[in-house]
Protein backbone atom coordinates (compact mmCIF):
# COMPACT_ATOMS: atom_id res chain seq x y z
CA UNK A 1 0.00 0.00 0.00
CA UNK A 2 1.33 3.40 -1.00
CA UNK A 3 2.60 5.56 1.86
CA UNK A 4 3.06 9.28 1.44
CA UNK A 5 5.20 11.28 3.85
CA UNK A 6 5.64 15.03 4.09
CA UNK A 7 8.36 16.85 5.95
CA UNK A 8 8.52 19.11 7.77
CA UNK A 9 5.13 18.91 9.51
CA UNK A 10 5.27 22.63 10.19
CA UNK A 11 7.39 25.48 8.94
CA UNK A 12 7.57 29.13 9.90
CA UNK A 13 9.50 31.63 7.77
CA UNK A 14 9.79 35.40 7.45
CA UNK A 15 8.15 37.08 4.50
CA UNK A 16 10.24 37.13 1.35
CA UNK A 17 12.09 33.90 2.04
CA UNK A 18 12.28 31.10 -0.53
CA UNK A 19 11.28 27.71 0.84
CA UNK A 20 10.99 24.04 -0.09
CA UNK A 21 8.39 21.53 1.02
CA UNK A 22 9.10 17.83 0.66
CA UNK A 23 6.96 14.84 -0.23
CA UNK A 24 8.09 11.21 -0.48
CA UNK A 25 6.23 8.11 -1.55
CA UNK A 26 7.00 4.41 -1.32
CA UNK A 27 5.74 3.02 -4.64
CA UNK A 28 7.11 4.69 -7.76
CA UNK A 29 4.43 3.20 -10.05
CA UNK A 30 2.33 6.34 -10.11
CA UNK A 31 0.32 8.16 -12.76
CA UNK A 32 0.81 11.62 -11.35
CA UNK A 33 1.48 13.67 -8.24
CA UNK A 34 -0.53 16.67 -7.20
CA UNK A 35 0.11 19.48 -4.73
CA UNK A 36 -2.78 21.11 -2.89
CA UNK A 37 -3.30 24.02 -0.56
CA UNK A 38 -5.80 23.94 2.30
CA UNK A 39 -6.82 27.00 4.28
CA UNK A 40 -8.35 26.49 7.75
CA UNK A 41 -11.93 25.28 7.58
CA UNK A 42 -11.83 25.05 3.80
CA UNK A 43 -11.54 22.44 1.10
CA UNK A 44 -8.42 21.63 -0.88
CA UNK A 45 -7.34 23.75 -3.82
CA UNK A 46 -5.19 22.22 -6.54
CA UNK A 47 -1.89 24.02 -7.08
CA UNK A 48 0.13 21.90 -9.47
CA UNK A 49 -0.19 18.51 -11.15
CA UNK A 50 2.87 16.66 -12.40
CA UNK A 51 2.31 13.72 -14.73
CA UNK A 52 4.55 10.70 -14.21
CA UNK A 53 6.42 11.49 -17.44
CA UNK A 54 7.21 15.04 -16.34
CA UNK A 55 10.00 16.33 -14.14
CA UNK A 56 8.53 19.64 -13.04
CA UNK A 57 5.66 22.09 -13.31
CA UNK A 58 5.59 25.81 -12.63
CA UNK A 59 2.81 28.22 -11.77
CA UNK A 60 3.77 31.75 -10.82
CA UNK A 61 5.96 31.63 -7.72
CA UNK A 62 5.44 27.87 -7.33
CA UNK A 63 7.59 25.16 -8.83
CA UNK A 64 7.03 21.46 -8.23
CA UNK A 65 9.50 18.74 -9.17
CA UNK A 66 9.11 15.00 -9.40
CA UNK A 67 11.74 12.27 -9.18
CA UNK A 68 9.80 9.06 -9.58
CA UNK A 69 12.77 6.75 -9.26
CA UNK A 70 13.63 8.06 -5.81
CA UNK A 71 10.01 8.53 -4.77
CA UNK A 72 10.32 12.25 -4.10
CA UNK A 73 8.69 15.53 -4.97
CA UNK A 74 9.40 19.05 -3.84
CA UNK A 75 7.31 22.19 -3.87
CA UNK A 76 9.38 25.36 -4.11
CA UNK A 77 7.78 28.65 -3.14
CA UNK A 78 9.67 31.76 -4.13
CA UNK A 79 9.48 35.08 -2.33
CA UNK A 80 6.96 33.86 0.24
CA UNK A 81 4.10 36.12 1.35
CA UNK A 82 1.82 36.06 4.41
CA UNK A 83 -1.01 35.00 2.09
CA UNK A 84 0.90 31.78 1.41
CA UNK A 85 0.20 30.68 4.98
CA UNK A 86 -1.81 27.45 4.74
CA UNK A 87 -1.37 23.70 4.89
CA UNK A 88 0.19 22.16 1.79
CA UNK A 89 -0.57 18.56 0.91
CA UNK A 90 0.76 16.26 -1.75
CA UNK A 91 -1.23 13.40 -3.23
CA UNK A 92 -0.01 10.46 -5.25
CA UNK A 93 -2.19 8.81 -7.89
CA UNK A 94 -1.60 5.09 -8.30
CA UNK A 95 -5.30 4.44 -9.01
CA UNK A 96 -6.06 5.41 -5.45
CA UNK A 97 -5.26 8.98 -4.48
CA UNK A 98 -3.21 8.89 -1.28
CA UNK A 99 -2.36 12.01 0.66
CA UNK A 100 0.47 12.98 2.93
CA UNK A 101 -0.28 14.53 6.33
CA UNK A 102 0.65 17.98 5.05
CA UNK A 103 3.05 20.76 5.95
CA UNK A 104 1.58 23.69 7.86
CA UNK A 105 3.29 26.83 6.58
CA UNK A 106 3.29 30.16 8.38
CA UNK A 107 4.80 33.19 6.65
CA UNK A 108 5.39 36.01 9.12
CA UNK A 109 5.14 39.64 7.96
CA UNK B 1 -18.85 24.74 -14.07
CA UNK B 2 -19.78 25.16 -10.41
CA UNK B 3 -17.17 22.70 -9.21
CA UNK B 4 -17.79 19.76 -6.89
CA UNK B 5 -20.88 20.44 -4.81
CA UNK B 6 -21.39 18.87 -1.41
CA UNK B 7 -24.32 19.03 0.96
CA UNK B 8 -25.00 19.60 3.75
CA UNK B 9 -22.10 21.84 4.79
CA UNK B 10 -22.90 21.33 8.45
CA UNK B 11 -25.18 18.93 10.27
CA UNK B 12 -25.81 18.15 13.92
CA UNK B 13 -27.42 14.84 14.72
CA UNK B 14 -28.03 12.53 17.64
CA UNK B 15 -26.04 9.37 18.09
CA UNK B 16 -27.78 6.45 16.38
CA UNK B 17 -29.38 8.56 13.67
CA UNK B 18 -28.56 8.23 10.01
CA UNK B 19 -26.21 10.75 8.40
CA UNK B 20 -26.44 11.18 4.63
CA UNK B 21 -23.84 13.21 2.78
CA UNK B 22 -24.31 14.14 -0.85
CA UNK B 23 -21.97 14.98 -3.68
CA UNK B 24 -22.36 16.25 -7.22
CA UNK B 25 -19.11 15.84 -9.18
CA UNK B 26 -17.94 18.05 -11.98
CA UNK B 27 -19.69 17.15 -15.21
CA UNK B 28 -17.58 14.89 -17.40
CA UNK B 29 -15.37 13.61 -14.59
CA UNK B 30 -15.48 9.85 -14.43
CA UNK B 31 -13.90 9.18 -11.03
CA UNK B 32 -15.25 10.21 -7.64
CA UNK B 33 -13.56 9.94 -4.27
CA UNK B 34 -14.81 10.21 -0.68
CA UNK B 35 -12.32 11.25 1.98
CA UNK B 36 -12.54 11.78 5.73
CA UNK B 37 -10.29 14.32 7.41
CA UNK B 38 -9.51 14.37 11.12
CA UNK B 39 -6.77 15.99 13.15
CA UNK B 40 -5.46 12.61 14.27
CA UNK B 41 -5.46 10.75 10.96
CA UNK B 42 -5.34 13.44 8.31
CA UNK B 43 -7.03 12.74 4.97
CA UNK B 44 -8.17 9.14 4.64
CA UNK B 45 -9.51 7.69 1.41
CA UNK B 46 -12.79 5.94 2.19
CA UNK B 47 -13.94 4.79 -1.25
CA UNK B 48 -13.64 5.69 -4.87
CA UNK B 49 -15.81 5.11 -7.91
CA UNK B 50 -14.88 4.89 -11.57
CA UNK B 51 -17.71 5.24 -14.08
CA UNK B 52 -20.16 4.90 -11.16
CA UNK B 53 -18.69 1.55 -10.08
CA UNK B 54 -17.04 1.21 -6.64
CA UNK B 55 -13.41 0.27 -7.26
CA UNK B 56 -11.80 0.36 -3.82
CA UNK B 57 -13.78 0.52 -0.60
CA UNK B 58 -11.03 -0.81 1.64
CA UNK B 59 -10.93 2.50 3.48
CA UNK B 60 -14.52 2.35 4.65
CA UNK B 61 -14.06 2.05 8.40
CA UNK B 62 -17.01 -0.13 9.33
CA UNK B 63 -20.20 -1.66 8.04
CA UNK B 64 -21.97 1.40 9.38
CA UNK B 65 -20.57 3.29 6.39
CA UNK B 66 -21.94 2.83 2.89
CA UNK B 67 -21.58 4.74 -0.36
CA UNK B 68 -23.45 4.70 -3.63
CA UNK B 69 -23.18 6.34 -7.00
CA UNK B 70 -26.44 5.70 -8.85
CA UNK B 71 -25.45 7.89 -11.80
CA UNK B 72 -22.58 10.01 -13.08
CA UNK B 73 -23.84 13.18 -11.39
CA UNK B 74 -24.63 12.06 -7.87
CA UNK B 75 -23.12 10.12 -4.98
CA UNK B 76 -24.04 9.59 -1.35
CA UNK B 77 -22.11 8.55 1.73
CA UNK B 78 -24.25 7.23 4.56
CA UNK B 79 -23.46 6.50 8.18
CA UNK B 80 -26.03 4.36 9.98
CA UNK B 81 -26.10 4.27 12.94
CA UNK B 82 -23.92 7.30 13.57
CA UNK B 83 -21.56 7.60 16.55
CA UNK B 84 -19.83 10.64 18.10
CA UNK B 85 -16.45 9.45 16.74
CA UNK B 86 -17.83 9.87 13.22
CA UNK B 87 -17.72 13.64 13.67
CA UNK B 88 -15.19 14.84 11.07
CA UNK B 89 -14.95 16.61 7.75
CA UNK B 90 -15.96 14.49 4.79
CA UNK B 91 -14.72 15.57 1.39
CA UNK B 92 -15.88 14.51 -2.02
CA UNK B 93 -13.56 14.94 -4.99
CA UNK B 94 -13.86 14.24 -8.68
CA UNK B 95 -11.07 13.57 -11.13
CA UNK B 96 -10.63 14.72 -14.68
CA UNK B 97 -10.25 11.71 -16.97
CA UNK B 98 -8.00 13.75 -19.27
CA UNK B 99 -5.49 15.24 -16.84
CA UNK B 100 -5.93 13.22 -13.64
CA UNK B 101 -6.38 16.45 -11.73
CA UNK B 102 -8.45 16.14 -8.58
CA UNK B 103 -11.01 18.77 -7.59
CA UNK B 104 -12.48 18.95 -4.11
CA UNK B 105 -15.78 20.10 -2.72
CA UNK B 106 -15.95 22.36 0.33
CA UNK B 107 -16.65 19.42 2.63
CA UNK B 108 -19.48 18.28 4.89
CA UNK B 109 -19.09 18.58 8.65
CA UNK B 110 -21.44 16.30 10.55
CA UNK B 111 -21.40 16.54 14.31
CA UNK B 112 -22.80 13.51 16.11
CA UNK B 113 -23.81 14.19 19.73
What's the 3-state SS for chain A? Answer: CCCEEEECCEEEEECCCCEEEEEEECCCCCCEEEEEEECCCCCEEEEEEEECCCCEEEECCEEEEEECCCCEEEEEECCCCHHHCEEEEEEEEECEEEECCCEEEEEEC
Question: What pLDDT is stored for residue B43 in this prediction?
Answer: 92
Question: Strand, helix or coil at B83?
Answer: coil
Per the CB < 8 Å rule, is A97 touching B48? yes
Q: What is the mean pLDDT of residues A76-94?
A: 96
Give residue-wise pLDDT tens across range A7-50: 999 999 999 999 999 999 999 999 999 999 999 988 999 999 99
Strands A10-14 and A103-108, sheet pairing:
parallel
Q: A49–B104: do the CB atoms touch at under 8 Å?
A: no
Q: Does B103 lie at the interface with A, CB-CB under 8 angstroms? A: yes
Please state the rounded mean pLDDT for residues B22-27. 97
> B45: which chain A residues are within 8 Å (Cβ-Cβ)?
96-99
Q: Is B70 exposed, middle or buried (0-12, 13-18, 19+ CB in 10 A)?
A: exposed
pLDDT at B62 over 90: no
Residue A74 pairs with which residues in a beta bridge? A22, A65
Instruction: Tell me the per-residue pLDDT of B67-112, one tens digit each, with 9 for 90 and over.
Output: 999 999 999 999 999 999 999 999 999 999 888 899 999 999 999 9
Sequence-ordered list of residues with C-beta below 8 angstroms from that of A31, at least 6 positions apart, any chain: A51, A52, A93, A94, A95, B100
Q: If we measure between CA atoms, which residue out of A40, A94, A39, A107 comes closest to residue B100? A: A94
**Mutant choice from B10, B58, B93, B100 vs A, greatest count of A C-beta within 10 A:** B100
Average pLDDT of chain A to the nearest whole number: 95
What pLDDT score was predicted for residue B27? 94
Paired strand residues for A106: A12
Amino acid sequence: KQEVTQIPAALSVPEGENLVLNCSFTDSAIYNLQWFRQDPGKGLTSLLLIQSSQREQTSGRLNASLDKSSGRSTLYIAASQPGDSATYLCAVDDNDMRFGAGTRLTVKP
Amino acid sequence: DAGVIQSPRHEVTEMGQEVTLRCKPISGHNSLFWYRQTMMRGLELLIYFNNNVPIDDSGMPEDRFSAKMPNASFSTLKIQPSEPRDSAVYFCASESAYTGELFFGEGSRPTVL
